[in-house]
Amino acid sequence: MKKILAVICFSFLSLNFANAEILSVGISGNIGLLEADGKETITGTSQRDITYGNNNTRLRADGVSSTSTTKGAEDVFIGYVSLFGEAHIFNSGVRVGVSYVPYALESETTDNTRNDNCSRDYSDGKTGNNTCTPTKQQVQIDVEDLISTYIAYHHVLDDGLFINSVFVKGGIIEADVITKEKLSEGSKYPNAELSGQFFGIGAEKNMDNGLFVRLEAGITEYDSIKLTNGSTDAHENNNTIDITGLEGATATFSIGKSF
């Protein structure tokens, strides 16, 4: 869906170019550091112990529901290349633009091994012994169809020696989060949508033949994401991951051409 949106946006810019005869296109290299706060909540039912009643009859007790929560914070380095197009609105300094990352951004694979798959061995015929089998969880995500739409204002410097204009910009950013995991119980985390807002400032240097280079610094803040593994087995744990406070700074270098 976001690929179609990107094509529509670029087509719109081309139409605007036909009317205003001013269009900028180019390629950008982006690096940044994001901070994220995460919380994992595990809900499950404890093992149902067996006791012995009259006539040595085995009775199974009801399990006890329990919840455990783990919190953490992590810094995430990002780097990617994007394509952009901008329509200059009536030589006012205002530009409407769209940026698109044409490939998937892959995260590292996270491994988590737990000894929570426990059962009781009653081979002794009475109390039994607890035995736990390690379970390994692997989670990896791809961020696909990362698209940004924005409005920018460029102010031309009359006596600019090293730079010809400065600008401010702001907009929204959206992407699809594709989860790729290997969970011991066979359940899966659903895919999700990533969205947020960004603000940036920068400077532009014009060269011959309509070429330009651009440096930009920006701040991005993403909305919270909540993922639940959706296990339907009453004997398996339900895991919920909440990612909040995902925000950080980016630096961008661009090269392009204005027509």
C-alpha span between 207 and 259 (Å, rounded) = 13
Q: How many CB atoms lie within 10 A of CB 141?
A: 22
Mean residue pLDDT of the chain comes to 78
Distance CA 9, CA 19 (A): 16
Q: Is 8 left (phi over 0), alpha (psi -120 to 50) or beta?
A: alpha
Q: Tokens 């969880």 sit at which residue?
A: 137
pTM over 0.85: no
CA–CA distance, 259 with 256 (Å, rounded to integer): 10
* 64 compared with 180, residue with greater pLDDT: 180
- Quote the pLDDT of residue 164: 93
Write down the H helix ranges in 21-108.
none
Report which of 70, 84, 209 is spatially closest to residue 137, judged by C-alpha positions. 70
Q: Beta-carbon neighbour count of residue 116 at 10 Å?
A: 15
Q: Do residues 157 and 127 touch, judged by C-beta distance below 8 A?
A: no
pLDDT, tens digit, for every residue of 118-173?
Answer: 555 555 555 556 666 666 666 677 889 999 999 999 999 987 678 999 999 999 99
Over residues 212-252, the pLDDT tens digits come to 999 999 999 999 888 887 655 555 567 788 888 889 999 99
